[in-house]
Amino acid sequence: MCGIVGLHLREPSLEPRLGELLTAMLGQVVERGPDSAGVAVYGDPRLAPPGRTVVSMLGTSPAEVAEALPGTVAYDADATTVVHADPAQVTAALPGARIIGSGEGFAVLKGTGNPVALADSFRLPSVTGWQGIGHTRMATESAVTPEGAHPFSVGPGQCLVHNGSFANHATIRRELRARGVQFDSENDSEVGARFIAYHLEQGADLEKALRLLCERFDGFYTLLVSTSDSFAVVRDAVACKPALVAETDAWVAMASEYRALDVLPGIENARIFEPEPEEVYVWRR
């Protein structure tokens, strides 16, 4: 049992409130995942200045970044350090760093502990932008570590959060490794993220990649996947993991429980529905 929240803003006047609203949503699903938490946010000019490549990483500190990459801006967010630099440059200068997200326009922040406390340490309420996704984790398939926290971001601008478990993840991991795909953890959710990234690289769009995932993966799952221009939801054939979507002219939101949607402005006028099994829902900027 884990908690998922996500918010895709259509109304630019709400963008200054992205972090505030995402924090409120995250706080409503703490009981679903008290072990660890993480978020991915799109469009915050402090975390992700326009035109700059952003690298989110674990295993290093802003002080170590300053020593290894003089003049590089580093943002401290609990276990995560965000830097504005080329990933290859970061890897060469900081070989002990573990990259958990890279690309333009977004940043990934994650750590272990109480999700409400983590949101505060991320300074999430002050974040601005046009899209954000979050996750609270109750570990079942791997250790409670920052690396095992969601989101999993393995492609440029791409993030995945997952509630459930993939029964055949070991088989698919072997298949992807045979095609040259490398993995950072033993987490089953990373396999889903890598599978999607692989098919996007092969030319599939996000909807097609998620349809292929439904065809290939066994298990119970609700997935929320974000990219630099999209926000997508899909559930398995049984749809036993909870999910609700709310949509207004100003925003689209998804959460594991209604109470996480109830904090949003205009929820009383939203169209609210439960995603159908194996139907892919995609909203684009």
Tens of pLDDT, residue by residue over 180-231, are: 999 988 889 999 999 999 999 999 999 999 999 999 999 999 999 999 999 9
**pTM for this predicted structure:** 0.95
Mean pLDDT calculated for residue range 252-263: 98
Q: Grade residue 147 by pLDDT with cuts at 50, 70 and 90.
A: confident
Per-residue pLDDT, 89: 92
Q: Is the pLDDT of residue 142 over 70?
A: no
H/E stretch holding 257 reads none
Residue 135's CB is within 10 A of a number of other CB atoms, namely 32
What rounded mean pLDDT belongs to the chain? 95
Which is the catalytic residue, given 2, 159, 214, 240? Answer: 2
Active site (annotated) includes residue 240: no
The predicted model gives 87-114 an average pLDDT of: 94
Angle at 159 between CA 154 and CA 160, to 5 degrees: 105
Q: What percent of the chain has pLDDT over 90?
A: 92
| Strand-strand pairing, 53-58 and 74-77 | unpaired
